[in-house]
Amino acid sequence: MKKIINAPEHYVDEMLEGIYTAHPDLVTYVADDLRCLVTANKKEGKVGIATGGGSGHLPLFLGYVGRGMLDGCCVGDVFQSPSSEQMLAVTKAIDSGAGVLYIYGNYNGDIFNFNMAAEMAEFEDGIRVETVLGADDVASGPLPAPGEKSIRRGVAGIFFVYKCAGAAADEMMNLDEVKRIAEKAAANVRTMGVALTPCIVPRVGHAGFAIGEDEMEIGMGIHGETGIRRGKLEPADQIVEEMLEKILGDFDGIDGSRVAVLVNGLGATTLDEQYIVTRKIDKVLKSRNITVKRYYVGEYATALEMAGVSISVLKLDEELERLLGGPAQTPFFHQGSVSSEGTVRMDAKKTAKASKKAAESRKGEDVNSLVGFLKKASEIMAEHRDYLIDLDSVVGDGDLGLTMSDGFAAAYKAVAGTGEADSGKLLYTAGKAMSIAVPSTMGTLMASGLMQAGKRLRGKTETGLAESVELFEGYAEGVMNLGKAKVGDKTFLDGMVPAVEALKAAKEAGKDLKAAAEDAKAAAEKGFEETTTMLAVHGRAATRGEASRSLKDPGAAVAMLIMDAFCQTV
């Protein structure tokens, strides 16, 4: 890794400090949290628009907060979702009585946490929240049938959704109208990218995948997700022709239409190259009698230092064309002249919480054996950090080892030394701490499992075999309810559910807890090994299709490690 940084763990917060230093007239933060970024100029009575996602994609997400576009944004660690608590803080800060619209990419971690934040905002403050997902990447799945959920990723084309919805809100349209505009823009934008090099997540320290010096990958995602074709690097004109064929072919009739085009550098592509691409795009579109009303060329949604480019096409009507042309002023995007009339100045010191909750004092010794289980789980996840990174790099973005080691460390820290005897309260507290520490897809799923297990064991202070069955059955239930997966889908459940069944069988056979735990560990290990026969149907691994069948599932490996920790502590 060769980056101009300090400590990798400070990468995101130090980047944010720099943004607040450079742009104090446009953005600030709330809740004493640098990652909860909001506009410095709140417009009273206007619909608030919020977004969010992982860091590492500047200027995507937080770069479009400002006048005429977005009002707030939460960012997580690199390529990881922000937490529901952070999203709630931003939602409350930007609401001015007209409701809030969430616009973000179609990624499970973001969906889980944004949905939780919307529920909390309505419950706690009566704030109405609506949601529009960006799902513009034509390489990541087919166009969904009417009424079906899209499996497509949200990539650079979400910029157009931000711009049109932001202009609609700035015109003081109500929440239903702003949502309608956002949905129209989202339905009419298509994107495809090509990558030439990998990127390096600072805390991982090495590339998430390898690609030859003379190779390119068409359709690769902005986290390094597998594309649709890898081959020898071709001339720019051939690359553009292939990408535009896929993009334009995805529209239901686009010849003769008006469009806007975004040519986006992925982080390490020169403007020279981007304009060479633009030149060819214009020739292809003119040959099909497609009129380009606006070109946007530059870095709009990056993937750290990945070399490559993406092309986004927005099909316009009169309404979208007018809104797209509206004025905006953000740290990374300027268009036209923006009025400050009706805005109220926001300030970090004034909008921060009046007081932080004091950390609970340590009340004594650990009296519940589940503290020891969580400690052992955190140790095992730390020991297997690189192993999980390697497994996940094949099917995902390679951050699972970090997520699990950080998540279980936070879970253990939240309960260690508290003297809490109630197993339910202990597990619920641990789960909530994990959800805040690692709000990625897997982190949120694991947190949901712990919290559901806590609900099952509420009021219990001992952990015998019966309670262990309740614990892990609840854990599986929490993951299943949130993730909507089932056994056989090649997920965490394929390791955990066999372990639960083994615990139940051991209980029926009259075995003691230690023998039952050993059976559960063996069942989880077997379930993990058997994932090599399964086809992935959830998450980024699903984009690999039949190629996913021979791979071991990283989530099932986490289940195996959890049961190992349990076996070592009973």
Say yes or no to pLDDT of 358 above 70.
no
Q: Does residue 1 lie within any of the structural domains?
A: no
For residue 361, what pLDDT is reported? 44
Q: Does residue 175 lie within any of the structural domains?
A: yes
Domain stops at, among 153, 181, 209: 181
pLDDT tens digits for range 194-227:
999 999 999 999 998 899 999 999 999 888 888 9
For residue 402, what pLDDT is reported? 94
Say yes or no to pLDDT of 123 above 70.
yes
For residue 548, what pLDDT is reported? 65
Q: Look up the CATH number of the domain holding residue 95.
A: 3.40.50.10440
For residue 362, what pLDDT is reported? 43
How many domains are contained in the chain? 2
For residue 251, what pLDDT is reported? 97
Say yes or no to pLDDT of 135 above 90.
yes
- pLDDT-derived band at 148 (thresholds 50, 70, 90) equals confident
Q: Does residue 556 lie within any of the structural domains?
A: yes
Q: Hey, which residues are catalytic here? A: 223
Strands (E), 343-491: 343-345
For residue 541, what pLDDT is reported? 62
- pLDDT-derived band at 188 (thresholds 50, 70, 90) equals very high
Residue predicted with more confidence, 164 or 551: 164
pLDDT tens digits for range 15-33:
999 999 999 999 999 999 9
For residue 483, what pLDDT is reported? 84
Do the beta carbons of residue 217 and residue 229 sit within 8 Å?
Answer: yes
- Whole-number Å distance between alpha carbons of 516 and 3: 49
Q: What is the pTM of this model?
A: 0.74
Q: Does residue 2 lie within any of the structural domains?
A: no
- The average pLDDT across 505-525 equals 97
- pLDDT-derived band at 357 (thresholds 50, 70, 90) equals very low
Q: Does residue 189 lie within any of the structural domains?
A: no
- Whole-number Å distance between alpha carbons of 85 and 91: 10
For residue 543, what pLDDT is reported? 60
- pLDDT-derived band at 558 (thresholds 50, 70, 90) equals very high
- pLDDT-derived band at 359 (thresholds 50, 70, 90) equals very low
Q: Does residue 54 lie within any of the structural domains?
A: yes
For residue 542, what pLDDT is reported? 63
- Whole-number Å distance between alpha carbons of 64 and 68: 9
For residue 297, what pLDDT is reported? 98
- Would you tell me the crossing angle of helices 369-383 and 554-569 to the nearest 10 degrees? 140
Nearby residues of 304 by Cβ (< 8 Å), 6 or more positions away: 56, 78, 199, 200, 201, 267
Whole-Å CA distances, 262 to 313, 383, 476: 7, 44, 43
Whole-Å CA distances, 533 to 226, 395, 498, 541, 557: 20, 15, 16, 14, 15
Q: Does residue 307 lie within any of the structural domains?
A: no
Average pLDDT, the chain: 92
- The average pLDDT across 425-439 equals 90
For residue 341, what pLDDT is reported? 72
For residue 348, what pLDDT is reported? 53
Q: Does residue 477 lie within any of the structural domains?
A: yes
Domain stops at, among 181, 215, 245: 181
Question: 376-406: buried (b, 16+ CB within 10 Å) or exposed (e) per residue?
Answer: bbbbbbeebbeebbebbbbbbbbbbbbbbbb
Domain that holds residue 106: 8-181
> Could you tell me which of 260, 310, 312, 320 has the C-alpha nearest to residue 290?
260
Strand partners, 132: 103
Domain stops at, among 135, 163, 181: 181
Q: Look up the CATH number of the domain holding residue 482.
A: 1.25.40.340
